[in-house]
Structure 1
């Protein structure tokens, strides 16, 4: 059985790590290079870097910062934000990233997923999906409890016509190697992950699902890994602000019987 992964996420704005609640109310969370080094030393399984305003500001991801962060890492590194063509994706991989994450650009031009998979390999392509439960107003079939799950783009600012599960299935068909599923309803709340949709997707798809949004305690991660088929749990503020250090989380998960990797020399 593959071991479950714990992935800290660096949401980047103006070169700094930030974090908010439900995608708003951002506050500074520290220097991204320092945090990256800390998480690698603590035994995080991977690191995710998301330049959260690159798409809205119509600019490319901060490649020099990617290079600086990659230089201090010895764990897999995923980078997203403003990636809209193969050329930039290759630059980011050359700068030291192991995978690229696409979101808005893939929604606007789904063929981008095919192109990235063909050039970089499926294992390098992550599709980030920001999802939110909304009331059904257009006659669509409800997904859960009279609500449907819709995909949002532009850092959660714009609702699309895409239903989340159908979009994720299309992403897999086009060559995505992983789905990074962020529940906007749960983001930053620390009240637990969106288990229902995560479980549904992790059973329907044959590629790994990374669950993001709502992780606040070790019990939330235990629920995620025991009640769904998610491959990884991603979180930000609980790690950035020292509320639940990665080594402590992994110890508690191992004690609860979750298959997790615990490096012998991880910092405590």
Structure 2
């Protein structure tokens, strides 16, 4: 079994890190470069940087901020938001990103996943899936444009398609659990990890150390991502790792 990873996430809007609940009511959480540097020192295994308004505003991710952030850290760094071509990917990889996260662009043009994997390797391509439970279907639906638009696509069918097209990893966010601190969405996470063979990063809902333990042991996730609890110092990366080690979970 691969060692589990703890991944802080920087949701960036207008050059600042923000955090909300269920994708709304965003509040300021600090400077992305500064926070990235802190997480690197604190022992985070990786870092995810999402330019959350880029797809909505139809513009490219902030290359300069990515460049500055990459200069401050030594851990792997995934960047997403506003990426719609392999040239966009190349620009960000050159700026210091290790992996590229795509969500809206993958839904609009699934071929982009294959093209990116072929050009840069599957290990570079992370497909981000924003999932919300659809009562009528009794299943989860994929959302795009920062959680604003329902796609009409079923999550389990989508993740299998993305794996077959060359995605190397999935970043799975439960919109229902996002920012609630009530725990990761275990039924969603388990359904996805049972459907694919590639690593799954679970996101949305972390509130305490126990939640990470649950998402690894009951949800089958390969990594646990969190934002609010780390940004506002409710927990540290190290305290989560210590707790998991104590419970016998193998971590980096």
Match of 2:146, SS state, is: coil
Structure number, greater radius of gyration:
1
Counterparts of 2:244 and 2:235, CA distance in 1: 12
Counterparts of 1:197 and 1:158, CA distance in 2: 19
How far the C-alpha of 1:256 sits from its partner, in A, is 1.1
Please give the TM-score of this superposition, normalised by the length of structure 1: 0.93
How far the C-alpha of 1:223 sits from its partner, in A, is 0.6
Superposed CA RMSD? 0.7
Q: Deviations over 1:118-176 (max 9, x none)?
A: 1110000000000000221xxxxx4xxxx221000000000011000100100000000
How many pairs are equivalent? Answer: 252
Contact 2:174 2:188 in 1 (8 A): no
How far the C-alpha of 1:228 sits from its partner, in A, is 2.2
In the alignment, which residue of structure 2 is the partner of 1:125? 125
Match of 2:153, SS state, is: strand
Gaps of 5+ in 1: 137-141, 262-268
Contact 2:183 2:206 in 1 (8 A): yes
1:181 paired residue among 172, 191, 194? 172
Please give the TM-score of this superposition, normalised by the length of structure 2: 0.99
Counterparts of 2:135 and 2:242, CA distance in 1: 40
In the alignment, which residue of structure 2 is the partner of 1:266? none
In the alignment, which residue of structure 2 is the partner of 1:164? 155
In the alignment, which residue of structure 1 is the partner of 2:247? 256
Match of 1:234, SS state, is: strand
In the alignment, which residue of structure 1 is the partner of 2:68? 68
Gaps of 5+ in 2: none
In the alignment, which residue of structure 1 is the partner of 2:228? 237
